[in-house]
Amino acid sequence: MALLMKGNEAIAEAAIQAGCRLFYGYPITPSTEIPEYMAKKMKAVGGTYLQAESEIAAIYMVYGAGAVGERVMTGTSSPGFSLMQEGLSFLFAAEIPCVIVDVMRGGPGLGGLGPTQADYFQLTKGGGHGDYHAIVLAPFSVQEMVDLTKEAFDLADYYRNLVIIAADGILGQMMEPVEFPPVAGRKLEPKTWAASGAEGRPKNNVLSYYLTPELGEAENLRWGEKMSRIKETEQRFVEYEMEDADYAFVAFGTSSRITETAVDMLREEGIKVGLYRPVTLWPFPEKGLTARLNQIKGWMSIELSAGQMVDDVKLVVNGKAPVGFYGRQGGMTPEPEEVAAAFKAQLLGGE
């Protein structure tokens, strides 16, 4: 049976269904329905909702719960996500699995409450210090918020890596029909590394430091191998009208919904254009894009930012075709007509 739910609530419910029994967070618009839903529902399932004093404390509470081996989540929005960056770096180094939701809003600074995708760099390049990446999943519908949240916990445990759900103010706030089908899930190893109390085994330490540069390099190389493994196996994307396309948009999340409409409009005019939609922002889905390089005469990244993902598109296209960009900022979203017009101006020479 389908339920009508807000994106934020759907993420929270999916997390509970994925076995998450610990939520630490600090309220911030437009993500606040996540802590509110958790505050209401965790009690009934014997879990814990705890309101932290700040996003800094929240992410380290996540660190503590993840370090003892439990499934744990926090949810926030851009300014709060900025505060968590130190913790993300530590979570990566200590290899503590956890799930973080960033419901992006306008920035920089306090910004506004409208939707943006301007945290893309912070999400995908590592907003904290050091060489690290989170696995970043970008849903484009409330249903996908459910499906990807459930999977996020498995990915986190499987790779012992932080996983971020990258949503935005529209996806978090809008209501859509949604279903919660049972998920088989991955086969996961027991968390023998966790610092959960050394009953009947040698003690465990969960740490993020190394004292010698030699060890530091070895650890970084080991993490690099893990990143390569994730890059190789976890790239996800969805194609729309790409089979016979001459031109292609690249867009994720809310901007991909708008772009889908722009694709339909342009096709009605007889222009063969498609949409390549990354579902994993990190790893960026290079493989699917590379497979289309000989087919596509021009690419165009549509984002709710000044142009961030477009850099990754250019790296993959590597000069083989022009790469355009159109975006709106500060909480504004483009109309499909704007997207179509920008496409014509930049890739069809103003036709």
Partner 1 sequence: MKAIFTKTAGLSDRPFHYCPGCTHGIIHRLIGELLEEMNLIEHTIGVAPVGCSGFCENYFTCDMIGAAHGRAVAVATGAKRARPDRFIFTYQGDGDGASIGLAETMSAAARGEKITSIFVNNCIYGMTGGQMAPTSLVGQKTSTSPYGRDAATMGYPLDLPKVLTQIEGAVYVASVSVDSPQAIKDAKKVLRKAFQVQLDGLGYSFVSILSTCPTNWGVNPVEALEWLQTKMKPHFALGELKVPATEGGSEA
Binding interface with partner 1 (CB under 8 A): 22, 24, 48, 50, 52-54, 56-58, 60-68, 70, 72, 86-87, 90, 94, 195-200, 203-209, 211
Sheet holding 323-327, edge to edge: 237-240, 273-278, 247-250, 298-303, 323-327
Q: Minimum distance from CB of 149 to partner 1 (Å)?
A: 20
Cα of 273 vs its chain's centroid, Å: 26
- Decide whether 51 or 220 has the Cβ nearer to partner 1: 51
List Cβ neighbours of 203 (8 Å cut-off, separation of 6 or more). none
Q: Minimum distance from CB of 184 to partner 1 (Å)?
A: 26
- Decide whether 22 or 145 has the Cβ nearer to partner 1: 22
Q: Which two tokens stand for residue 315?
A: 């790296």
Q: Minimum distance from CB of 194 to partner 1 (Å)?
A: 8
- Decide whether 53 or 189 has the Cβ nearer to partner 1: 53
- Decide whether 187 or 201 has the Cβ nearer to partner 1: 201
Residue 109 burial (C-beta neighbours within 10 Å; 0-12, 13-18, 19+): exposed
Q: Minimum distance from CB of 209 to partner 1 (Å)?
A: 6
List Cβ neighbours of 165 (8 Å cut-off, separation of 6 or more). 11, 99, 100, 101, 102, 137, 138, 139, 145, 148, 149, 152
CA distance 44 to 112: 34
Q: Minimum distance from CB of 211 to partner 1 (Å)?
A: 8
- Decide whether 55 or 144 has the Cβ nearer to partner 1: 55
CB 209 within 8 A of CB 130: no
Q: Minimum distance from CB of 234 to partner 1 (Å)?
A: 27
- Decide whether 110 or 207 has the Cβ nearer to partner 1: 207
Q: Minimum distance from CB of 21 to partner 1 (Å)?
A: 8
Residue 106 one-letter amino acid: G
- Decide whether 96 or 123 has the Cβ nearer to partner 1: 96
- Decide whether 35 or 172 has the Cβ nearer to partner 1: 35
Q: Minimum distance from CB of 216 to partner 1 (Å)?
A: 15
Query: 80 has which bridge partners?
Result: none
CA distance 236 to 284: 8
CA distance 200 to 257: 53
CB 75 within 8 A of CB 103: yes
